[in-house]
Structure 1
């Protein structure tokens, strides 16, 4: 533990426990008596930390703000995280571990995690217990090969092209692609790559779990596409499916379903209107109806498609086909 970490841990221990004895500080920091004396003196004299010794409690405390005895206002220079922020970061680290097959991201973030544990003043056992308090459930997650995730991430930051073998599920066919990575997207427990496909000379979205093999190309450099162009072409429709022509779907939800749907975001540009009976009318843009139909069907009898007619017919046909399987 370096000196900066010790400074932060000293203040955090005192702040969280109220009063800490000299012996406890020595034990928690694993330093000699002389080193701890120097650290305390430096904190008080050079960093203006309001650390005082309380003879009654036989421990070190933080002196309250004279203007408000309930608060202790002090922040070490060069340290940006409060205790609540550190806990939020630990929660985010747990989220990454839940999403990151093979631990690629978590492995790179481990040094930061170790520093955060040190700043909190937690032991290894306490840190593990803390992490158990966050559970991330990822149903229907499609794992990505760690080597592919790391390679794509490297290509994205270093602006390199990627040669890859990609499995097209709709055609049940393996294709060869040369792409310029533009953006990584995590959507519904699945990772996607938005890239310029040099084979089709257009922007395309690829599921990372469908990559069979991939390699970096040193030359030429990746083609750069403005973010606004990517958003306009790939984010305008519904979900992960893109298309040239955007249409608007009108959905009518029952009062029972409206209690949940009213608080959901189906699309950033959605238009929701509450009805007098408690129902909800929702309008969302879409270019390809595939994912929209799936979301409509999961609400069963609690939703009705009002427009456009082609979407009405598609949902109606799929409901009939599903009912026929139980006939």
Structure 2
């Protein structure tokens, strides 16, 4: 039984029996007197558990905070984790911090992280060392002002509409919109908001770094089921996954490039197989070729688009334009 399990056991014993002697606690936990003393002291000092020694009954019990004889309903946190699980949660926190702009998420999660580290007790330094040894390297991150992230996240949780002033990069225009937030998406180190746009009467995806101003509204947000979000916004390739028509691109990678590409997931619905000559054929759905073309181009002469004439022509044109820069 590890220490967090002992804490839980102590809480149950005091809850069910009211007052439990030191010897009875030792017998139930099967620990030494010194270990039990450390556990009781830790529960009182670090987790603020109101455990007191009752001289009259010669045992330990929870002390009621209002002067009554009845103990409060909940003294200790209702959820307990093993030390292995705590280490996993702290590691997850460090990974999440790598996605965090301006420390917004970390700031709200820090009290929970402090408590998790406190639950490790003597292993607290080990947990901190573990977190320092998990590193997330983010490239080309587009930072989001914390005020916008918090406001939109709050509106999403509270199911409220938001007014946005938004800069659309494709035509370099600024528009004002009323939206119902549906989902926050982190994609390639950039945050996006999936929302129902009441101006265009449909689902749209907004880059948070392009939000110039945001204001919460008291109007209740329109609800869109997750399955409908996925069907309309995730069907195609990448962040441009939405669209009425979805086409399939067939990419043929060289045997050398295949060693890496074969272990990559380009899309949840992708299809792939190895050819006899060691090349790797990958099929991915797309509705807008913009991002797919960028990913194809980064593989240079290690990939060939086959069958899709429109996509082949688009890639060829971009390669010709790029080659002129270095002629």
Alignment match, 1:109: 109
Distance 1:161 1:320, change over 3 A: same
Query: TM-score, normalization: structure 1?
Result: 0.78
Which aligned pairs between 1:1-327 and structure 2 lie closer than 5 A?
8=4, 43-45=25-27, 48-52=28-32, 79-122=79-122, 126-219=126-219, 221-241=220-240, 242-327=242-327
SS of the aligned residue for 2:29 comes to coil
Q: 1:9 touches 1:121 (CA, 8 Å); kept in 2?
A: no
Q: Give the root-mean-square deviation of aligned CA atoms.
A: 2.5
Query: Any idea what the Cα deviations from partners look like across 1:22-41, whole Å, max 9, x if unmatched?
Result: xxxxxxxxxxxxxxxx9975
Q: CA deviation at 1:269?
A: 0.6
Deviation of the 1:124 alpha carbon: 6.5
Change (3 A) 1:124 1:323: same
**SS of equivalent to 2:80:** coil
Render the CA deviation track for 1:47-71: whole Å, top value 9, x for unaligned: x323246xxxxx759xxxxxxxxxx
Q: In the aligned structure 2, how far is the partner of 1:40 from the partner of 1:255?
A: 69
* Number of matched pairs: 275
What runs of 5+ residues in structure 2 fail to find an aligned partner? 9-19, 37-75
1:321 and 1:42 mapped to 2: Cα distance?
Answer: 81
Question: Is the 1:165–1:213 contact (alpha carbons within 8 Å) kept by the matching residues of 2?
Answer: yes
Give secondary structure in 2 for the equivalent of 1:121: helix
Deviation at 1:10, TM superposition (A): 7.5
Which residue is equivalent to 1:25? none
Write out per-residue CA displacement over residues 244-284 of structure 1, whole angstroms, 9 at most, x where no aligned residue: 11000000000111111111100011000101111101110
| Structure 1 consecutive aligned stretches of length 4 or more whose deviation exceeds 6 Å | 9-12
The alpha-carbon distance between structure 1 residues 199 and 10, as it changes in their structure 2 partners (threshold 3 A), is: same
Distance 1:156 1:79, change over 3 A: closer
TM-score by length of 2: 0.78
Contact 2:90/2:127 (<8 A) preserved: no
Q: SS at the partner of 1:101?
A: coil
1:195-232, CA deviations, whole angstroms, 9 ceiling, x for partnerless residues?
0001101100001111111010012x101111111111
